[in-house]
């Protein structure tokens, strides 16, 4: 099959959505399909086209940014060209341009799947409010035109104001997760380079963004340090110049300064380093605060490396812990409960172990790609037989 995937941001931008699509695209290419990605040229120095791991990337020039979105005047022309050149479409929301691409899927009779990664929640303000309205309307139009809608979990779908309206089109496909299994030497090298204290390590893998709830981990630290005075936080991911998060970074600055001896920013790590990071941590945390977090791929990565997780009690986000037993679920925006759960895991880690191999098998990119492949084949058969 010739498969077109479309999303607003793709690599080298780093987010759970871009990682998901990159893994899916590469896995589909490895299974013998011709795979293209249609995305934005969000930085002018990015190439307009390139081939990466067998995936053809097509970037459309950006004329203007609005909040976290982009305006691409030529997206319509490029979308028409790409839709006609492919057999099936995989659109990844939230995405302003998905409605137009999905409409082309209907017009040119190309099976179209929407994968809904999360709800869009922008900061307060008139521009952000308008952007929220426009994107939500575009998402709903896209869902009406699409032949199927994909969610990570049934839990998230039934609680999502968006997904719950399209349950008859819904297909649940576990997300693609892969992580390098670091050996003992890689672990030792990582610890030597990045650990500053001798106590337990609390890991967090995320962007420094409002929806990640970083402040609640910072507010939980006094309670944690009372019992574990040599504990430290290892924060992995983009923490400087995060798109749309300058105000949030300023808000966190005083707390980060207060705990600078117990908090290390490690930046964006490569896949091998991420495997060592998870092994070096005694627990990882995901204190996200709203439905922009629908699952948290980093939870599965952590569990595949044997490290338990403390996560927010959000639809979808709670599922990895609930289905594996590898951690604790805590109420949203509750630093006291977060600190208590982290200490519980740190002080009785053996009670939160799980079957790392079985977890990994359920979430391999190849298995996710196989699910998409089967769904695309089913939709192709339906269209060829004249069914809507």
**Do 130 and 33 share a structural domain?**
yes
Instruction: Give the pLDDT mean for 291-320.
Output: 95
Could you give the CA distance from residue 291 to residue 43 in angstroms, rounded to a whole number?
Answer: 28
Helix, strand or coil for residue 341? helix
Percent of the chain residues past pLDDT 90, beyond the cut = 86
pTM flag (> 0.85)? yes
**Do 170 and 277 share a structural domain?**
no
From 120-124, 157-161, 201-205, the region with the lowest mean pLDDT: 120-124
Q: Residue 384: which pLDDT band, with cuts at 50, 70 and 90? A: confident
End-to-end CA distance of the chain: 20
Could you give the CA distance from residue 24 to residue 367 in angstroms, rounded to a whole number?
Answer: 10
Torsions phi, psi of 315, nearest 5? -55, 135
> Is the pLDDT score of 82 beyond 90?
yes
Q: Residue 28: which pLDDT band, with cuts at 50, 70 and 90? A: very high
Say which residues have a Cβ less than 8 Å from residue 131's Cβ, sequence separation at least 6.
66, 67, 68, 69, 122
pLDDT tens figures, 132-181: 677 778 889 999 999 999 999 999 999 999 999 999 999 999 999 999 99
**Do 199 and 163 share a structural domain?**
no
**Do 324 and 230 share a structural domain?**
yes
**Do 111 and 153 share a structural domain?**
yes
**Do 260 and 378 share a structural domain?**
no
- Report the alpha-carbon angle 285-242-64, nearest 5: 140
pLDDT at 128: 58
* Cβ neighbours around 127 below 10 Å, total: 11
**Do 238 and 208 share a structural domain?**
yes
**Do 253 and 208 share a structural domain?**
yes
**Do 320 and 191 share a structural domain?**
yes
pLDDT tens figures, 255-288: 999 999 999 999 999 989 999 999 999 999 999 9
**How many independent structural domains does the chain possess?**
2
Could you tell me the residue range of the domain that residue 218 belongs to?
A: 184-362
Q: What is the CATH number of the domain that holds 343?
A: 3.40.50.2000
**Do 375 and 327 share a structural domain?**
no
**Do 218 and 144 share a structural domain?**
no
**Do 165 and 280 share a structural domain?**
no
Nearest in space to 299 (alpha carbons), one of 358, 349, 360, 238: 360
Helix, strand or coil for residue 22? helix
Query: How confident is the prediction for the chain on average, in pLDDT?
Result: 94
Could you give the CA distance from residue 317 to residue 362 in angstroms, rounded to a whole number?
Answer: 17
């Amino acid at each position: 099959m010739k498969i077109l995937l479309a999303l607003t941001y793709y690599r080298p931008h780093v987010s759970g959505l871009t990682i998901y699509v990159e893994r899916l695209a590469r896995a589909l290419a490895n299974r013998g399909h011709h795979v293209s990605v249609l995305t934005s040229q969000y930085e002018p120095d990015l190439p307009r086209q390139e081939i990466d791991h067998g995936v053809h990337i097509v970037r459309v020039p950006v004329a203007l940014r609005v909040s976290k979105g982009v305006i691409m005047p030529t997206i319509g022309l490029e979308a028409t060209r790409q839709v006609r050149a492919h057999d099936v479409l995989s659109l990844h929301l939230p995405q302003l341009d998905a409605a137009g691409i999905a409409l082309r899927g209907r017009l040119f009779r190309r099976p179209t799947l929407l994968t809904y990664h999360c709800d869009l929640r922008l900061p307060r303000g008139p521009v952000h409010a308008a952007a929220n309205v426009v994107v939500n309307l575009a998402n709903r139009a896209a869902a009406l035109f699409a032949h199927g809608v994909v969610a990570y979990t049934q839990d998230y779908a039934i609680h999502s104001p968006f997904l719950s309206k399209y349950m008859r089109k819904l297909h649940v496909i576990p997300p693609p997760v892969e992580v390098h299994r670091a050996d003992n030497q890689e672990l030792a090298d990582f610890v030597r380079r990045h650990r500053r204290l001798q106590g337990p390590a609390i890991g967090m893998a995320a962007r420094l963004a409002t929806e990640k709830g970083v402040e609640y981990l910072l507010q939980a630290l006094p309670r944690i340090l009372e019992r574990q005075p040599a504990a430290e936080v290892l924060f992995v991911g983009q923490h400087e110049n995060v798109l749309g998060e300058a105000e949030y970074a300023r808000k966190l600055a005083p707390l980060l300064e207060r705990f600078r001896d117990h908090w290390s920013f490690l930046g964006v790590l490569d896949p091998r380093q991420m495997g060592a990071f998870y092994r070096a941590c005694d627990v990882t945390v995901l204190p996200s605060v709203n439905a922009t977090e629908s699952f948290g791929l980093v939870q599965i990565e952590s569990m595949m490396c044997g490290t338990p997780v403390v996560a927010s009690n959000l639809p979808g986000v709670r599922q990895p812990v609930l289905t594996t037993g590898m951690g604790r679920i805590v109420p949203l925006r509750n630093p006291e409960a977060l600190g208590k759960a982290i200490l519980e895991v740190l002080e009785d880690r053996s009670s939160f172990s799980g079957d790392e191999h079985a977890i990994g098998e359920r979430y391999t990119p190849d298995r996710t790609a196989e699910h998409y492949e089967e769904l695309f084949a089913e939709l192709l058969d339906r269209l060829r037989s004249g069914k809507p």
